[in-house]
Amino acid sequence: MLNLSQNGCSVWVASATEGLLTPTAVALGKFDGVHLGHQRVIQPVLPPARKQDHQRAWGADERNLLELSPADCTTPAPQPINPTASTPEHIYSTVVTFHPHPQEFFSGQPRALLTPLDEKVEQLRSLGIEQLVLLPFDKELSALSPEEFVEKILVQQLRCQQLSVGQDFCFGKQRTGTARDLQLLAAKYQIPVTIVTLEKYAGQAELPEYSDCVSISPTSDLPISTSLIRQTLEQGDVKNANLLLGRPYTLFGVVIQGQQLGRKIGFPTANLQLPKDKFLPCNGVYAVRVFFVDQTPDPANPLLGVMNIGNRPTVAGTDTSVEVHLFDWYEDLYGQKLAVQLVQFLRPEHKFSSLEALKTQIQVDCTIAKQVLLSK
């Protein structure tokens, strides 16, 4: 079990169902992205103080969602329960999810994630969650019937006192259990279950006219989902992806040494090494805001720049790379961990006839990016 702390706040991360902090109030699901719909499912199991903060945040103007950053955590680090104390047991707000992702288990293929583990932990910490349990999704777990899952996992191991799930939640062998089934089964153990109605998305995709990404043109009232966010990012529709998430989609990576081709044409870039399971949006050029992860972020003073995701066809590149050019920055970045927030997709990746033509286009990209970033 790991205790990942930041600014005095902790999320206990368990890779198995041993040594857990119990009893628990559990939000159950996959939670890749920790998007607005997921946050609705998590809200009922938050500690009372954080639940009130969360409810107030949902009343804010949606236009402010793009500027949200993780809030300072006010929940104290969880302490072991003292069985001799006369005060009531603390019920730990807990997110229970699966590792590996069930789709990865059944397909045998790695699955890229909107929020790899470190990111998921940080997002849950910012919401006020005290514990993340990663159930090992294996042959044994996938074979449990809905009744066995409730009894063995939720009751015996997690000592669950309260549950929250989305209305589309399915569980048990061959996904035969529904949210309503969970409610009925849990009632036998006096465990109340909140079934959360799916959060709806009423936006429209607004892709650049010159984008060659495939548009899905979502219609109104689509449920907010991880798959919808992945589709919008595959199109370069950063605006709607950020609205669905409730925050900017962000790439976290360490700056490593590249081929230094950008420096040769006057546009030095930071080559980012990302987690292997991080989901990447479509190839192309983006306007971005950048923060140093190891420093206290100042949302009012980000670094501004452009980012390219792609294979660098102009210089016969083959592997996908993520490179960021920061405006008016001349210091060494090697070894620094950066958080790169996507603001707007500018154009698809192209193969240019020469390095000079590429240089000219990058100059245009930088001009457009500055206009975009300074206007938001």
The per-residue pLDDT for 158 is 94
pLDDT band, residue 351 (cuts 50/70/90)? confident
Of 135, 148, 193, the closest CA to residue 169 belongs to 193
Tally of CB atoms within 10 A around 210: 8
Identify which has the larger pLDDT, 100 or 283: 283
CA distance 196 to 79: 30
pLDDT band, residue 215 (cuts 50/70/90)? very low
The per-residue pLDDT for 237 is 95
Identify which has the larger pLDDT, 205 or 32: 32
Q: Is there a contact between 129 and 94 (Cβ–Cβ < 8 Å)? A: yes
CATH (one of 1.10.10.1100, 2.40.50.140, 2.40.30.30, 3.40.50.970) for 248-375: 2.40.30.30
- Same-fold call for 2-196 versus 248-375: no
Instruction: Please report, for the chain, the start and end positions of each structural domain, with discontinuous segments joined by +.
Output: 2-196, 199-247, 248-375
Residue 59: pLDDT above 60?
no
pLDDT digits (tens, 9 = 90+) for 228-276: 999 999 999 999 999 999 999 999 999 998 766 666 666 888 999 999 9
Identify which has the larger pLDDT, 52 or 236: 236
Side chain identity at 193, as an amino acid letter? V
Partner residues linked to 339 by β-bridges:
252, 291
Phi-psi region of 275 (alpha: psi -120 to 50; beta: other; left: phi over 0): beta
pLDDT band, residue 101 (cuts 50/70/90)? confident
Q: Is there a contact between 223 and 199 (Cβ–Cβ < 8 Å)? A: yes
Tally of CB atoms within 10 A around 277: 15
238-245 vs 226-235: helix crossing angle, rounded to 10: 160
Each residue of 86-122: b (16+ CB within 10 Å) or e?
eeeebbbbbbbbbbbbbebbeeeeeeebbbbbebbbb
Instruction: Given CATH 3.40.50.720, say whether it is the number of domain 2-196.
Output: no
CA distance 219 to 249: 22
What's the rounded mean pLDDT across residues 76-101?
71
- Helix then strand count (H, E) for the chain reads 11, 17
pLDDT digits (tens, 9 = 90+) for 129-164: 999 999 988 889 999 999 999 999 999 999 999 999
The per-residue pLDDT for 83 is 45
Alpha carbons within 13 angstroms on the beta-carbon side of residue 324 total 32
- 261: tokens are 């081709």
Tally of CB atoms within 10 A around 27: 30
**Residue 154 vs residues 54, 86, 95, 147, 187: alpha-carbon distances, Å:** 25, 25, 12, 10, 12
Phi-psi region of 339 (alpha: psi -120 to 50; beta: other; left: phi over 0): beta
Give ∠ CA 31-37-41 in degrees, rounded to 5.
Answer: 70
**Dihedral angle of Cα 127, 131, 135, 136, to the nearest 10 degrees:** 100
CA distance 241 to 228: 8
Q: Which of 104, 323, 331, 356 is catalytic?
A: 323
pLDDT band, residue 15 (cuts 50/70/90)? low
The per-residue pLDDT for 306 is 97
Average per-residue pLDDT for the chain: 82
The per-residue pLDDT for 75 is 37
Q: DSSP states of 196-221 as a string?
A: EPPPEE-------TT--SPP--PPTT
The per-residue pLDDT for 338 is 95
Residue 73: pLDDT above 50?
no
Active site residue 331: no
pLDDT band, residue 105 (cuts 50/70/90)? confident
Place of tokens 């949606």: 62
The per-residue pLDDT for 312 is 65
Residue 51: pLDDT above 90?
no
pLDDT digits (tens, 9 = 90+) for 280-336: 999 999 999 999 998 766 777 899 999 999 986 555 555 789 999 999 898 889 999
**Most confident stretch, 257-266, 336-345, 354-363:** 336-345
The per-residue pLDDT for 106 is 84
Tell me which H or E stretch contains 40: helix 36-42
Residue 373: pLDDT above 50?
yes
Residue 8: pLDDT above 50?
no
Give ∠ CA 340-349-318 in degrees, rounded to 5.
Answer: 90
The per-residue pLDDT for 206 is 45
The residue ranges of DSSP E strands in the chain, in sequence order, are 2-6, 9-14, 24-28, 92-99, 131-136, 160-166, 170-171, 177-178, 193-196, 200-201, 222-223, 250-256, 270-273, 284-292, 303-310, 321-326, 337-347
The per-residue pLDDT for 76 is 39
User: CB under 8 Å, gap of 24 or more: what pairs does 139-145 form?
Assistant: 141/98, 142/102, 142/105, 142/173, 143/173, 144/172, 144/173, 145/172, 145/173, 145/176, 145/177
Identify which has the larger pLDDT, 76 or 97: 97
The pTM (predicted TM-score) of the whole model is 0.82
Strands 92-99 and 24-28: what pairing?
A: parallel
Tally of CB atoms within 10 A around 362: 20
Q: Is there a contact between 13 and 5 (Cβ–Cβ < 8 Å)? A: no
CA distance 186 to 150: 7
Percentage of residues of the chain with pLDDT beyond 90: 57
